[in-house]
Structures are given as C-alpha cells and as structure tokens.
Amino acid sequence: MSASLDIRKAEPEDVRTLGEIAYTAWESGILPLLTERPGMREAERRRLIAAAGELVGRAIVASFDGHPVGWCARAKATPYIPYLFVMPVFQGQGIGALLLRRMEAILELHGHDRVMLETPVGNVRAVRFYQRQGYHILALKADGRQAQQAFMSVRLEKRLHPFTGPIPDDE
C-alpha cells in the first residue's frame, strides 16, 4: 500500500491540528530568530490556533495518508496569504509548493492578478523558497506582535494569471 498526499478544504474540526502544525513550524523556523521570553511559546500557540479558527473557511490542508501535515490560508477579499505552514518533518518534500500553487489557483479564480505574503527577514530558507516559487521581494517592513519582539519582515509578491472567462456547468 502506498502513501498518498491530498489537498482539501479545511474543516472546522481541523482547527486545533492546524494550529499545532503552525506552532511546530513556528517553533522550528521562527523562534530561533527571536529572543525567547517567558510565556512566549504558549502565547504563540494560542495565537496560531485562534488564527486557524478565524481562517478555516479560507484555508486548504495537505494530508498525508489522511493526516494533516500542512496548510495554507488566504485573507478575506484581498490577494494576501498570511499563513503557509508545513510540519518540519515534511518540509523539503514539495508540500509547501503544492499548497502555494493551489492557493494561487484559487486566487486566480477569484480574479486576482497578484498575490502577496510576508516572512521574517532572518528566515532565509523561507525567503529562498518563495523566490523559487516565482515571488519577488517588494519591501522590508517592521513587524511586531504581542508576546514577541519586533523584527523585520520581507514582503514578497507574485504576478498571477486570473481566469477571466465563464465557468459553464455543462460538461
């Protein structure tokens, strides 16, 4: 029996798992860039679970053999991807690229001609990943959230090719 990877729409029952995937990826990729303070980890875990809950209707999930291993979400009414997370053990296997391409296709179907996202400047692996996916650096900006110190983020953009024709129901 071979393993399978599926991309599907996120469901409300996924929220806790998606938050934990996000936290695990944050802990391995972003936390090392920060100066850790008391309570920081638990505050970030709560924030990411809450974010997954707020975005579940605009999120897609990568599942490996039926178990979520990554997810990507889009903002409401704007071509912005605030979250793309893959469990560290599954990173480097094309799952993030697959999620990103699928979300870009969704944005194209909504008529968007570009997409933006951000990642910490020090997260060189993520910046390079996005550049390999066709994103270009637009700007650097200060980014600070509650429970962690301010740091610089890289804003990246990619041009899309929106679908402009009708989508007929007949086959």
The pLDDT tens digits along the chain (171 residues) read 457 999 999 999 999 999 999 999 999 999 998 888 999 999 999 999 999 999 999 999 999 999 999 999 999 999 999 999 999 999 999 999 999 999 999 999 999 999 999 999 889 999 999 999 999 999 988 765 544 455 789 999 999 998 777 777 776
Type of residue numbered 113:
D
d(C-alpha 14, C-alpha 18), whole Å: 6
> What 3-state class would DSSP assign to 158?
strand
Number of domains composing the chain: 1
Domain presence at residue 168: no
**Could you tell me the residue range of the domain that residue 91 belongs to?**
5-159
- CATH label of the domain that carries residue 144: 3.40.630.30
**pTM metric for this prediction:** 0.89
pLDDT confidence of residue 30: 92
pLDDT confidence of residue 108: 94
Domain presence at residue 165: no
pLDDT confidence of residue 2: 56
pLDDT confidence of residue 171: 62
Domain presence at residue 154: yes
Q: 59-64 and 5-9: which strand pairing?
A: antiparallel
d(C-alpha 111, C-alpha 155), whole Å: 21
pLDDT tens for 83-129 read: 999 999 999 999 999 999 999 999 999 999 999 999 998 899 999 99
Residues in the chain: 171
Domain presence at residue 164: no
